[in-house]
C-alpha cells in the first residue's frame, strides 16, 4: 500500500511539471511569471527526495511539504509547503488513505492555506478552487456516492472555481496591484490546485483498471 502514495505524488509532480509553461504564462498576466517554474522546480526535487521505504503516509506527505517549502520560491512555497504538511497531520501514522481521510486532508489543507496566506474564498487565490472542491466532496460523501463520483464532483467544483477566478478582482499578492485589470485572468494558484486534484482523480481511476 505504501507504494501507492509515492505513485500518486509522482502523478501530481509530473502533471505540475508538464504544465510548467502553462502556469507560468498565467502568472505572467497577473504576477511574477514564475509560478510554473517554481512549482516545477519544487516537484522535481520532491520526486528526487521521496523516501520510498517509508510506510507512514503522514511522514511521506510531511517530507513533500518540507521540500516544497525549501525549494519553491515566492508565495507558492509557503502555501504549498503548509498544505502538504497539514495534509500530513491529518493522516499521521496511517498506511492507507480512505475517502473520509481525503476529506479530512482537504479540510486541513484549506485551514493551513487560510492561516498562512491570510486569505478567504473570493479573493482570487487557490482557495477559490479548494473550498468549492471541499464543499462538493462533502456533499457527495453525505449523499452516499461512490469514490469515483465523489472525486468527479470535487474536481468539477474546483474547475468551476478556477473559471470563477476570471470574473473577480485579485485582493491578495502581486495580482492585487493590478486592481480591476486582474479581472479576466484566471488565478495560477487555483489552477495548480485543480491540476493537483485532477491528478489524484486520474491516479485513482488508473488504479481501478
State the CATH number of the domain containing residue 165: 1.25.40.340
Q: Which structural domain, as residue segments, surrounds residue 45?
A: 2-206
Q: How confident is the prediction for the chain on average, in pLDDT?
A: 91
pTM of the predicted model, to two decimals? 0.93
Evaluate if residue 190 carries a pLDDT over 90. yes
Domain total of the chain: 1
144 — alpha (psi -120 to 50), left (phi > 0) or beta? left
Q: Which residues contact 58 (CB under 8 A, 6 or more apart)?
A: 88, 89, 90, 91, 92, 93, 94
Note whether 140 and 150 are within 8 A (CB).
yes
Percent of the chain with pLDDT over 70: 92
Q: What is the mean pLDDT of residues 61-90?
A: 93
Evaluate if residue 109 carries a pLDDT over 90. yes
Whats the size of the chain, residue-wise? Answer: 209
Q: What is the mean pLDDT of residues 144-168?
A: 96
In terms of DSSP H, where are the helices of the chain? Answer: 2-18, 20-30, 35-49, 57-71, 76-90, 99-117, 127-142, 147-165, 188-206
Note whether 120 and 114 are within 8 A (CB).
yes
Amino acid at each position: 500500500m505504501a507504494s501507492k502514495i509515492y505513485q500518486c505524488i509522482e502523478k501530481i509532480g509530473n502533471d505540475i511539471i508538464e504544465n510548467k509553461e502553462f502556469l507560468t504564462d498565467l502568472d505572467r498576466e497577473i504576477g511574477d511569471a514564475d509560478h510554473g517554474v517554481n512549482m516545477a522546480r519544487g516537484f522535481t526535487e520532491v520526486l528526487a527526495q521521496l523516501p520510498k521505504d517509508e510506510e507512514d503516509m503522514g511522514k511521506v506527505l510531511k517530507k513533500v511539504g518540507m521540500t516544497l517549502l525549501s525549494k519553491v520560491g515566492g508565495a507558492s512555497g509557503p502555501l504549498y509547503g503548509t498544505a502538504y504538511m497539514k495534509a500530513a497531520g491529518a493522516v499521521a501514522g496511517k498506511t492507507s488513505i480512505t475517502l473520509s481521510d481525503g476529506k479530512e486532508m482537504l479540510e486541513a489543507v484549506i485551514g493551513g492555506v487560510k492561516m498562512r496566506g491570510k486569505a478567504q474564498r473570493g479573493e482570487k487565490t487557490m482557495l477559490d478552487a479548494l473550498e468549492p472542491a471541499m464543499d462538493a466532496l462533502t456533499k457527495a460523501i453525505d449523499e452516499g456516492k461512490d469514490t469515483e463520483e465523489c472525486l468527479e464532483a470535487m474536481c468539477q467544483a474546483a474547475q468551476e472555481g478556477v473559471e470563477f477566478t476570471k470574473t473577480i478582482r485579485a485582493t491578495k499578492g502581486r495580482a492585487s496591484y493590478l486592481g480591476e485589470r486582474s479581472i479576466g485572468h484566471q488565478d495560477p494558484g487555483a489552477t495548480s490546485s485543480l491540476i493537483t486534484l485532477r491528478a489524484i482523480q486520474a491516479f485513482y481511476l488508473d488504479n481501478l483498471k
